[in-house]
Chains A and B, each alone.
Chain A
C-alpha cells in the first residue's frame, strides 16, 4: 500500500518531470512588449504582510542541514558522559532506530518543518539519553547471562532496554535485549588514542551504523549517524555536542542535498522543555552547480513533555500555528 506522502511525492515528481524546457529565443522574439502606464492591478487587494510570506514560499525538495544548540542546565557543571553509558546509549539507539515507525504527518499549511518532526524527535531523545541527569533511568546491574560480565539497563519512554557487554576494548560486542528480542551490536574503536567508535547493527536486511568521534571530551562530542538499508544509505547526519560553560549541540542532517535546515534549541523556560528556533532554506542547483536559495521558512517550536514521556510540539511561523500532540496528530 502506497503511503499518502509517497503518492504526493509521485505526483509532484510527475509534474516536475513533465515540465518542458522552453525556446527562450522564440518567446523573446515573439513577445511585443507594451510600454504602458501602470494602473491598479488585480493584486492590489493583497495585504502587504502576505506579499512577504508569498515570496518566502516557493519550495522544492530535500534536506541538507540541521543545526541544534542545546542548553542542558546553565546552573550546574557539566559532567562527562561515562564510557559505559556512551556504549550502552549508542547501542540502544540502534535498536530504537530498528524499531522506529516513521509517522506520516499531513499538514494543511504544508510547513516544511513538519517533515522534520520525526527526526527532531529522535535527536532530542538521543541527546536526553546522553546528557540527562535523570540517571534513575540508567543503571548498572548484575549480568544474568554467563557470556557477558556486565549489564546496564536503560528505561526510555517507559520501555526497558538491557545492554550486556564484557570489557570495553577496541572491539566490543554488545547484546541489547528489548521486547524479548536480541540485538547483536558491534562497537569498533578505530583509533586507540581518541574515541572513534563505529556501532553496527545488522538486523535481517537492515544495517545501521552509528559513528562516534570524540574530538575533545572537554569541548565537544561529535556523532555521525549513518543509517543503511540493504547497503543503501538513507539517512546521514552529524551531531556535535559542545561542552563549554553551557551545553550546546549542532546537528547536520545531510541526507539530501537541496535543503538546509537549522534548529537552534535552548533549554526551555517556564513549562516548556525546549525553545527552538528553526530556519529551512530551499535551494536549487544551477547549471554552474552554484545553488540559489528559492525559499526560506522561519519559525519557532515550543517543545513540552507529553504525559507518556514523549514530546509535544507547537510550531509557530509567520502565519500559522500547528500543534503536534503525543498521538502524532496535527491540529
Chain B
C-alpha cells in the first residue's frame, strides 16, 4: 500500500528525496489523467510540472485523512481542462487543416499510431476513465471522486470505452 501521508511533512519541508519518491509513485496516474485530455506529450510535460508545483504550493491545504492521490489527480485534471479550454480554438484549427491529423499526434511508429487511433475513438470522459483505470488501476470510486461523476456513470463510460477498444478494427 502506498501510504502517502508519511511523506506530507517532507513535502511541506521541500525535501527533494521525498518529492522524488512521491513523484515516482504518482507520475503515471498524473500523466494518464493529463494525456487523456490534451493528447499531446509535450503539453503533458508542461502540465505535469505545473501540477507538481501546485501540489507543493497547496500542500498545507491537503488533509491527510483523505486520499492524496485523488487530491493530486484532481489538480492535474483541472489544469489539463484549463489548458484544453484556453487552446480549444487552436486545436480545432489544426483538425480542420487535414482529415488525418488528430490533436497532439506524435506517433513515432506504427504501434504508437495504432494506440493513438484507439484512444482517439474514445470521448474525453471515456478516455480519462479508461486511462485512469488501466494505467494504475484506480478503483471506480476513486475515479468517480476525481471526475466528480456518479459511480454508475463511471462504470458505464468504462464499459463503453472497453467496447470501443475491443470492437474497433485496429488490427
Contact = CB atoms under 8 A, between A and B. Distances in A.
A271 interface: no
A56 B1 contact: yes
Given A33-B57, A54-B67, A295-B2, A59 B52 contact: no
Contacts of A33: 12, 14, 56-57, 59-60
A22 B25 CA distance: 13
Contact of B118 (A7, A15, A46, A53): A7
B31 to A, nearest CB: 4
B20 interface: yes
Contact of A11 (B63, B134, B136, B166): B134
B145 A43 contact: yes
A59 B162 CA distance: 19
Nearest to B127: A11
Contact of A57 (B57, B111, B139): B139
Contact of A18 (B31, B53, B136, B171): B31
A145 interface: no
Interface in A92-119: 106, 108-110, 112
A181 interface: no
A58 B136 CA distance: 5
Contacts of B159: 108
B170 A2 contact: yes
Interface residues of A, number: 56
B1 A22 contact: no
Interface string A1-30: 110100110111011101110101111101
Contacts of B28: 15-16, 19
Given A56-B1, A294-B25, A27 B49 contact: yes
B165 A28 contact: no
A4 B19 contact: no
B56 A28 contact: yes
Given A20-B45, A33-B59, A293-B1, A12 B29 contact: no
Interface of A: 1-2, 4, 7-8, 10-12, 14-16, 18-20, 22, 24-28, 30-36, 38-39, 41-44, 46, 48, 50-51, 53-60, 106, 108-110, 112, 284, 293-296, 319
**9 shortest A-B CB distances, which residue pairs?**
A59-B137, A31-B56, A43-B66, A19-B31, A4-B166, A54-B67, A57-B139, A14-B115, A31-B53
Interface of B: 1-4, 12, 14, 16, 19-20, 23-25, 27-29, 31-32, 35, 41, 44-45, 48-49, 52-53, 56-63, 65-67, 69-71, 74, 111-112, 114-115, 118-119, 131, 133-142, 145, 155, 158-159, 162, 165-166, 170-171
Given A10-B115, A36-B61, A295-B1, 12 more contacts: A16-B28, A18-B41, A20-B31, A26-B49, A34-B60, A34-B61, A35-B60, A42-B74, A50-B145, A55-B4, A58-B25, A110-B133
13 contacts: A4-B162, A11-B165, A28-B14, A31-B14, A31-B56, A51-B65, A51-B67, A53-B141, A57-B137, A58-B25, A59-B136, A108-B140, A108-B158
